[in-house]
Every structure is written in C-alpha cells, then in structure tokens.
C-alpha cells in the first residue's frame, strides 16, 4: 500500500516550489537584497541539484548549453517546446527561480506573449529576450544582425503585457559595434517595461561602468568563457555596478571535457578504472537525486542498499 502521508510529497517532487510565492516574485526578492546575485547555468536537472547543493539560490537556463547538449549549434534552431521542457525539468528538480534564455522570443509579439505564459507554467522566474534577428548567434561572435531598436522594444512590451509574475530581461547585442547604441537601446527597453538589462560582450571595466551609470535598471553581466568579455569575479562586477552575474554554459563545458576524457580512457585502455577517482560515486549520486527519499514515498518499495565497491 502506498504511503498515506501526503504532507511530504510536494517537498520531494517540487523541492518546495509548489508552495509560497511564484518564481518571479522569489527572484524579485533575491534582487532586492544588497549585493550581486550569482547565477550559474544548469543544463539539466542533475546539474541544477548540484548547484543548489553548493548554495546557489537562482539558476540560468542557457539556450547555447541546451542546444549543444542536443548536438546542435546555438543558431536559433531549438523549439519553444524543447526550451519549456528543459525549464520544467530543472524547476521541478530544484525548486529554484530560473532565468531562462528565450533567444529572440520565437517569433514576433504574439509568439513572445505565448512564450511568457508557457515559461511561467513551466516554473520560470524570468525570460531573456534579445534584439537579434534569426538566425541569431552567440553575442560574442561576429556579424550579428540586429532588429531595429523599436521592433525589439515592442517585443519587450509584449512580454511585459503577457506576464503574471515573470520578470523580463532585455538583452542587447549592440555593444559589439557601439556602446552608445547599446545604452540607447537598453534605455528604450527599460521604458518598454524591462525589469533587467543584459548588455552582452562588453570588453572592458570602463564599458561596464559607463553602461551601469547610464541605464537605470539592474544590469546582468555575462561571464561566459572564451568570449570577448574579460573574466571577472562576482565581487569585481558588483564594484562595476552589476546586480546579476551568470556563468551560462560553464557546467556544460566542464561536463563535456570530463566525458571526452572518459571516452578517451575507454578507447585507449578498455576500461574506466583510471577514472574512478574523478567520478561521483553511486552513494553521492543517490544522495543528490534523493533516491531513498523517493523510495520512502511508497511502502511497496524496499529501500535499496548501495553495493560496496569490489576494489
């Protein structure tokens, strides 16, 4: 017979997200606190749980990380449903507020409005909309095609009009060509209702200082690796006037290098014994995904015993 006590099920299945304020409000509360909010990327539910265990209170869902995980380039080829499925997975696993990369909004105003509602239903706290045209590119690459500032502002206004609690992050890719244009666009997007602004690919501390001084909204800094922006710590970015810092694809990059090393070991030596010290153990994995807590929800499931390693 299944366990009749229903009181603990929400805390296991939804990590507390089903109770209390909606995700957008919880993110707003985090932003109301002093200091900068550090937001690592989580490319799946397990990475989200590990980030939560490390003490992070908010996560970022990167379109680049999700598409790379699908074996695809970040050129706007992922669908809205694929994005919402990934968002739902991480929200369910962690219960944390999520800032979700909505690329160019999956179309025009009506598509943006649908995206907002779908992401809210999936558990997101914020959606990021950028001012590129399809096929979009990573903000740190060359020859991006921008929408007009007025068209991009209309998308931001559409997102704001559709939301119930979701915060709207307006990203501009204009800084790669002109910081002045990036500032002009950001102020237009704030006037359209954006809650947070994201100037991608700034190249110096002076750029950050000028931008944060000129735009009267919380500024998000992108600390993606191997791009145009010099690496800075959260504390350094806070001193430059930023309110949020994301590390969007770092977890995927580290995981991909580790998996590549594993496959090289298997191909060369015919076994994984040399990689055991670099692996999360079975016991550590089960603790992270709350294996025994899920078992305890159903009295018909005997608690599993983790086998001892023969080595």
Q: What is the DSSP letter of 278?
A: G
Per residue in 60-74, pLDDT (tens digit) is 999 999 999 999 999
Identify the pLDDT of residue 52: 97
Identify the pLDDT of residue 137: 67
Per residue in 180-202, pLDDT (tens digit) is 999 999 999 999 999 999 999 99
Q: Tell me the residue range of the domain where 161 lies.
A: 22-250
1 or 279, greater pLDDT? 279
Per the CB < 8 A criterion, the answer to whether 137 and 74 are in contact is: yes
pLDDT band per the 50, 70, 90 thresholds, residue 35: very high
Q: Among 51, 34, 53, 33, which residue's Cα sits nearest to residue 42?
A: 51
Tell me how far CA of residue 127 lies from CA of 78, 119, 170, 174, 294, in angstroms.
16, 8, 9, 19, 31
Rounded CA-CA distance 192/155 in Å is 9
Q: What is the DSSP letter of 41?
A: B
User: Is residue 263 one of the residues assigned to a domain?
Assistant: no
User: Is residue 64 one of the residues assigned to a domain?
Assistant: yes
User: Is residue 78 one of the residues assigned to a domain?
Assistant: yes
User: Is residue 274 one of the residues assigned to a domain?
Assistant: no
Sign of the torsion angle spanned by Cα atoms 93, 94, 95, 98:
negative
CATH of the domain at 243: 3.20.20.60
Identify the pLDDT of residue 263: 98
User: Is residue 16 one of the residues assigned to a domain?
Assistant: no
Section 218-241 average pLDDT: 97
Helix segments in the chain, DSSP class H: 9-13, 23-31, 45-53, 63-69, 80-94, 109-122, 149-162, 179-191, 205-214, 234-239, 250-269, 282-288, 291-295
17 or 82, greater pLDDT? 82
User: Is residue 4 one of the residues assigned to a domain?
Assistant: no
User: Is residue 286 one of the residues assigned to a domain?
Assistant: no
User: Is residue 169 one of the residues assigned to a domain?
Assistant: yes
Number of independent structural domains in the chain:
1
Percentage of the chain with pLDDT > 90?
Answer: 83
Q: Among 104, 102, 100, which residue's Cα sits nearest to residue 125?
A: 100
Lowest mean pLDDT among 15-24, 29-38, 148-157, 242-251: 15-24
Section 162-176 average pLDDT: 96
pLDDT of residue 231 exceeding 50: yes
Per the CB < 8 A criterion, the answer to whether 252 and 43 are in contact is: yes
pLDDT band per the 50, 70, 90 thresholds, residue 2: very low
């Amino acid at each position: 017979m299944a366990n009749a006590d229903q009181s603990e099920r929400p805390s296991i299945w939804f990590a507390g997200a089903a109770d209390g304020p909606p995700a957008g409000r919880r993110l707003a509360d985090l932003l109301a606190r002093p200091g900068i909010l550090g937001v690592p990327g989580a490319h799946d539910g397990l990475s989200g749980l590990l980030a939560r265990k490390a003490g992070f209170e908010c996560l970022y869902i990167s379109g680049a990380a999700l598409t790379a995980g699908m074996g695809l380039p970040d050129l706007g080829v992922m669908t809205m449903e694929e994005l919402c499925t990934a968002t739902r997975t991480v929200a369910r696993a962690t219960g944390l507020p999520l800032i979700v990369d909505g690329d160019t909004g999956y179309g025009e105003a009506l598509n943006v409005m649908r995206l907002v509602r779908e992401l809210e239903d999936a558990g997101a706290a914020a959606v990021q909309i950028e001012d590129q045209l399809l096929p979009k590119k990573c903000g740190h690459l060359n020859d991006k095609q921008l929408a007009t500032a007025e068209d991009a502002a209309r998308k931001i206004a559409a997102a704001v009009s559709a939301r119930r609690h979701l915060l709207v992050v307006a990203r501009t890719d204009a800084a790669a060509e002109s910081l002045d244009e990036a500032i002009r666009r950001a102020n237009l997007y704030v006037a359209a209702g954006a809650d947070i602004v994201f100037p991608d690919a700034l190249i110096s501390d002076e750029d950050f200082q000028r931008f944060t001084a000129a735009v009267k909204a919380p500024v998000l800094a992108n600390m993606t690796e191997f791009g145009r922006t010099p690496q800075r710590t959260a504390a350094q970015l806070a001193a430059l006037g930023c309110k949020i810092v994301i590390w969007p694809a770092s977890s995927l990059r580290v995981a991909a290098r580790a998996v590549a090393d594993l496959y090289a070991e298997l191909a060369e030596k015919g076994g994984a014994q040399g990689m055991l010290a670099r692996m999360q153990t079975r016991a550590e994995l089960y603790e992270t995904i709350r294996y025994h807590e899920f078992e305890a929800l159903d009295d018909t499931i005997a608690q599993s015993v983790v086998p001892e390693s023969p080595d």
